[in-house]
Amino acid sequence: MIKTISEAFEPKVDIELALKHGLIEEEYEKILSILGRVPTYTELGIYSVMWSEHCSYKNSIAELKKLPRSGERLLVKAGEENAGLVDIGNGYAIAFKIESHNHPSAVEPYQGAATGVGGIMRDIFTMGARPIAALNSLRFGDLANPRTRYLLKGVVKGIGDYGNSFGVPTIAGDVYFDECYSENPLVNAMAVGIVKHDEIARAIAKGPGNIVMIVGSSTGRDGIHGATFASEEISDESESKRPSVQVGDPFTEKLLLEATLEVIRAGYVVGIQDLGAAGITCSASEMSAKGSCEMEIELDRVPIREKEMTGYEIMLSESQERMLLIVLPSHEQDVRQVFEKWDLRCQTIGKLKEGNALRVNYKGERIAEVPAQSLVLGGDAPVYYRESKEPEYIQHLRKFDPNSLPEPTDYNESLLKLLESPNICSRRWIISQYDTMVRTNTIIDVIGDAAVIRLKEFEKALAVKTDCNARYVFLNPYKGAQIAVAESARNVVCVGARPLAITNCLNFGNPYKPDIYWQFKESVRGIADACNVLNTPVTSGNVSFYNESPDGSIYPTPIIGMLGEINDVSKVISADFKNKGDIVLLLGQTIGDIGGSEYLKVIHGKVCGDAPSIDLYIEKRLHEACLEMINLSIVKSAHDLSEGGLAVALAECSLFAFAKGKSLGASISIPRPMRTDFALFSEDQSRILVTASETNLPKIKEISQRHQVTVRMLGEVIQDRIEVREKINLSVREASIAYYGSLERKVGVSS
């Protein structure tokens, strides 16, 4: 006989305890109203994690609804499932998503990063998709700081060890360094998978009489209140919250992947969800609410690995490599046999009934009984409209007069300093720790703006990239967010892919601060406008607030993960120079705006001005023109202009060729009339550097004119040197010494 809620014994709950759980007084009063009584201790824990920002999006959902979340190629709207789904034809779809693991990585960088990879992989394969690629977007502080070097080494090793052991190639990403991330690094993990339309699994609990099964690893105390921990600022006490950081096991996850895909493809599964943030609590409540079904769980049946765990701990544990399955009773033994074959635990822990409650029993007591809808986003979870106000620093920094800067006396030295910058230099040391070739689908000849992975099922390929220049967003959140979308789209265009859709990870400070919330709102507005013009709807995403330390907030950092499609894999191109004598052309216009540029930061020590101007319609026309040139095979290379501007892009095309064993540079002239440093180092948007045979110049000009895109012939590819007439004259080897090995020197490791 199960004791009722009124009979159950648990610690006394009051407003003080609710506040310690991260709830506010208004939310505690709402819980009392929903339940009509004081919650049990376990119920308080359930509400505290489900109403945390990490799970409920209570401070962000009102703005997120303004994003374009549907499109003709999308099979589900953003937020409907564990990840976004994009139709790629032939009965297949691509599942992809990005999520943050910032706070855990700040406290325990190795496990924080590793479990971030594991969590995003489970989001993909719980949909029935086999993961085919991993990406990451990382932000750290100044490399002169020993803590930054410790965090970087731990995060990179955690990503590499987990992904390599799990057996999915890590093929792309981005890494930036700035003082604002010193105490609060950003670790955003992205995964991409492929699934047949008729094998897509859903995160839903439906069908009274169906059973609830937990599969995978045993449940421990790791990660308890991880969702709440991710919904507060980093402080001096954060180190004491190491138990809130989960511990991952990639080998178990690999077994879980194969077993999960097997039961999904066999048709045994009605619904499935990863036990990620908030563990059983989140999956049980979200699946029940989505299916309008009652779920009753017996926690005594949950396999545990630690002694004397309470029901509260079991419900809130975020132990890794676990899933919750809804299964027809007739298939219970079938599912059990599959998981036992893969040497994984599999246990029936509950059942579905008519109704709408989530009921939890433990040791003969009912320790929780709450309406599932009251817990979830889209149900009774709070929705807040926070105060927003433009920060005072914005107008102050925009008063900057670029003409007040002295012009460099040695342009060779300026370019070499930029090539050594940790935001520009080679990431070889990082990439070398990742297995990029497992499963043998990565096209390794592509060195440049995006990674390309072949789809063996047909002659297609995918291009993927993450991107965001947070300095731009800091100076102008609206324009900076637009640029993040535009540049990630431009990245995939430069390898020959048509941008399809995005996933995003929105990293910001404390939303209760009006200036931070203004940054967030303006960034969402910028993403929405860019996605609408570029026809790249938002398929999925994540919001990470409270990225602050006692020293202040991070730069607003809305990471964009872009997916592009290449219909003919033979058309893929890279950024490296190909042949001596090829002409070098610039698609797009140079204005000379250096606000927020790497040049301004590295050479002059300033972060000021406005973000570069961007016209999204010009950007769209640039994409169309470049893709037409690539599809007609009349350009040999393409590279977008970003950090460091024209001079750095020119050097990178040479250095990418150098990495392939060719010593090719270029000799060019620069646009006039304009200050030379502005022409060389400005980061004006909507520009792509291409090379071609001179015989194709008339066709390139015709396409550019038809798409209303400016095209300028700058010079030609030459042997061994990088020359900008009268200003820069460097050997490719000199540039390579600055570019390759710079990160290793700053981190203090051997190359």
Rg over CA atoms, the chain: 26
Distance CA 420, CA 735 (A): 9
Widest pairwise Cα distance in the chain: 90
Which tokens is 116 given?
């971030």
How far is it, in rounded angstroms, from Cα 554 to Cα 92? 39
Q: Are 326 and 271 in contact (CB under 8 A)?
A: yes
CA distance 491 to 335: 43
Residue type, 370: V
Cis amide bond preceding 146, omega within 30: no
Q: Are 377 and 368 in contact (CB under 8 A)?
A: no
Residue type present at position 713: M
Q: Please report, in angstroms and rounded to a whole number, the separation of the first and last CA atoms in the chain.
A: 66
490: left (phi over 0), alpha (psi -120 to 50) or beta: alpha
* CA–CA distances in Å: residue 670 to residues 19, 592, 678, 679: 61, 11, 10, 7
What is the C-alpha separation between 535 and 537, in angstroms, rounded? 6
Q: Which of 352, 356, 395, 393 is nearest to 372 (CA)?
A: 356
Which SS3 state, helix, strand or coil, does residue 49 take? helix
CA angle 691, 696, 701 (to 5 degrees): 85
Tell me which residue of 710, 705, 713, 735 sits closest to 722, measured CA to CA: 735
Is the Cβ–Cβ distance between 625 and 703 less than 8 Å? Answer: yes
| DSSP reduced 3-state for 402 | helix
Is 101 part of the annotated catalytic residue set?
A: yes
Of residues 54, 103, 331, 639, which has the active-site annotation? 54
Residue 731's H or E segment, with its range, is: strand 728-731
Q: Alpha-carbon distance 337 to 342, whole Å?
A: 9
Which residue in the block uniquely carries the two structure tokens 């990431």? 427
Cβ partners under 8 Å of residue 134, min gap 6: 117, 120, 121, 159, 163, 168, 169, 170, 171, 189, 190, 191, 192
570/205 Cα distance (integer angstroms): 44
Structure tokens belonging to residue 718:
């030459």
Catalytic residue among 101, 623, 639, 707: 101
Length of the chain: 751
Got the DSSP string for 168-230?
A: --EEEEEEEE-GGGSSS-EEEEEEEEEEEGGG-------STT-EEEEEESPB-STTTTHHHHT
The DSSP element (H or E) to which 159 belongs, if any, is helix 146-166
Cβ atoms of residues 148 and 183 within 8 Å: no
Residue 150 burial class via C-beta count within 10 angstroms: exposed 0-12, middle 13-18, buried 19 and up: exposed
Q: Read off the tokens for 468.
A: 């965001």
Q: CB count, 10 Å around CB of 533?
A: 16
Known catalytic residue: 331?
Answer: no
In whole angstroms, give the CA distance from residue 610 to residue 593: 9
Catalytic residue IDs: 54, 101
